[in-house]
């Protein structure tokens, strides 16, 4: 066979291998990465449909969070990874539950103060996060922190993210814990790519041909690229995800007429952490700032201390919480960028 025929054959083989790998990835993701169907969702507590959301068999939005999950856990379920906003939502949730207070200082900075309240139902990732925010310094537990100090957190917030991911991975929401599912796919892809490199060495020596080996390497890279799509939700996970979407629709409407004030007298604080998970905190804070400015409602926020108690300084104090969310997010991300996990973090994780 002449060189031209051999080159054509190698090109065809390489094309077939690459195409087969891509097709295999698609089939694998469709088979193993597909979420299970959600179970039938009982109506449960629900508010009236928002404007434009008619009945006729369509779902009615929920005015309560899915049962049995906390804001950070729900965020992890929705995104299949522990994101910064999940940690921020957890901080807000811990404040509402009395574990800490948030103060807006006159210079515009934010101060977090640890209270003496430690609910018995605190989960490991919540304890880890509190220990990160209020670490032990020279043998004494720090009681206050600021967004600036958070940026300097030793080891960043890696252990808090890992604790959240591990805890959610044990709740039965995913067929395989997301981190493990992605890791398995990446390892498989790496093994295929390494195999391609090993194939290339004798091929170069014998024929000088690289196309087939390159195709195998590309196949491995395709497998690695599909890793983020692998976490698949169980029926339980899909059901809670559906409930979360209905709950999000209620919060996104930002309509005070949809809120059952008898059941949710402290709706602002009750739902604030959830709006952080859904990316709706600016909308939520603007709504309650408007209600406050109009004199229709004054949210009860014992966990939040505005700049001043005067009318002038209180104007806009609810909407300012949107700034808190942004600053906490930026501080956590900066801490993660500039610090790497240290051996001490393992002790924090076991606390």
Please tell me which residue, 205 or 115, carries the higher pLDDT value: 115
Task: Report if residue 180 sits inside a domain.
Answer: no
CA nearest to 131, candidates 90, 167, 187, 170: 90
pLDDT tens digits, one per residue of 322-333: 999 999 999 999
Q: Domain for residue 98, yes or no?
A: yes
pLDDT attached to residue 213: 65
Residue found by looking up tokens 């990465």 in the block: 33
pLDDT given for residue 10 in this prediction: 55
Whether 37 is in a domain gets the answer no
Mean pLDDT of 113-141: 93
List the structure tokens of 93. Answer: 């949730």
The number of domains in the chain is: 1
Strand partners, 112: 102, 145
Higher pLDDT residue, 11 or 321?
A: 321
Examine residue 211 and state whether it is found in any structural domain, yes or no. no
Instruction: Give the pLDDT of residue 115.
Output: 96
For 42-51, the pLDDT digits (tens) are: 544 444 444 4
Domain boundaries, position 120? 80-175+233-350
The percent of residues in the chain predicted with pLDDT above 70, rounded, is 70
Where do we find the tokens 């983020």?
A: 228
Residue 174: name the closest of 71, 67, 36 by CA.
Answer: 36
CB 331, CB 111: distance < 8 Å: no
- Please check whether residue 204 lies inside any domain of the structure: no
Q: Looking at the domain assignment, is residue 159 inside a domain? A: yes
Whole-number Cα distances in Å, 40 to 72, 145, 184, 243: 24, 45, 32, 11
Residue 39 domain flag: no
In a domain? residue 261: yes
Helix (H, G, I), strand (E, B) or coil at 284: helix
Nearest-angstrom CA–CA distance, 222 and 22 = 6
Reported as a single tens digit per residue, the pLDDT across 188-231 is 777 777 776 676 667 666 665 666 666 667 777 776 776 665 67
């Amino acid at each position: 066979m002449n060189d031209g025929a051999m080159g054509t054959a190698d090109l065809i083989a390489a094309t077939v291998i690459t195409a087969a790998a891509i097709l295999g990835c698609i089939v694998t993701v469709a088979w193993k990465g597909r979420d299970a169907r959600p179970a039938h969702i009982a109506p449960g507590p629900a508010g009236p449909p928002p404007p434009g959301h008619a009945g006729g068999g369509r779902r009615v939005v929920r005015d309560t969070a899915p049962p049995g999950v906390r804001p950070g856990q729900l965020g992890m379920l929705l995104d299949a990874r522990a994101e910064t906003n999940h940690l921020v939502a957890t901080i807000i949730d811990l404040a509402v539950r009395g574990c800490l207070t948030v103060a807006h200082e006159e210079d515009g900075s934010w101060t977090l103060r640890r209270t003496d309240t430690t609910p018995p139902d605190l989960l490991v990732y919540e304890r880890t996060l509190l220990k990160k925010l209020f670490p032990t310094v020279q043998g004494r537990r720090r009681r206050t922190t600021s967004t600036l100090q958070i940026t300097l957190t030793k080891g960043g917030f890696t252990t808090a993210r890992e604790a959240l991911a591990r805890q959610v991975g044990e709740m039965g929401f995913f067929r395989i814990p997301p981190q493990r599912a992605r890791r398995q796919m990446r390892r498989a892809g790496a093994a295929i790519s390494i195999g391609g490199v090993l194939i290339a060495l004798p091929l170069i020596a014998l024929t000088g041909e690289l196309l087939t080996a390159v195709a195998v390497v590309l196949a491995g890279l395709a497998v690695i690229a599909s890793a983020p799509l692998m976490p698949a939700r169980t029926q339980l996970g899909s059901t809670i995800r559906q409930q979360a979407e209905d709950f999000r629709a209620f919060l996104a409407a930002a309509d005070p007429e949809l809120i059952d004030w008898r059941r949710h007298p402290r709706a602002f604080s009750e739902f604030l952490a959830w709006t952080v998970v859904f990316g709706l905190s600016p909308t939520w804070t603007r709504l309650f700032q408007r209600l406050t400015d109009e004199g229709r409602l004054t949210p009860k926020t014992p966990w939040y201390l505005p700049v001043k108690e005067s009318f002038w300084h209180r104007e806009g104090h609810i909407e300012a919480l949107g700034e808190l969310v942004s600053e906490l997010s930026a501080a956590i991300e900066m801490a993660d960028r500039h610090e790497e996990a240290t051996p001490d973090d393992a002790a924090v994780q076991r606390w």
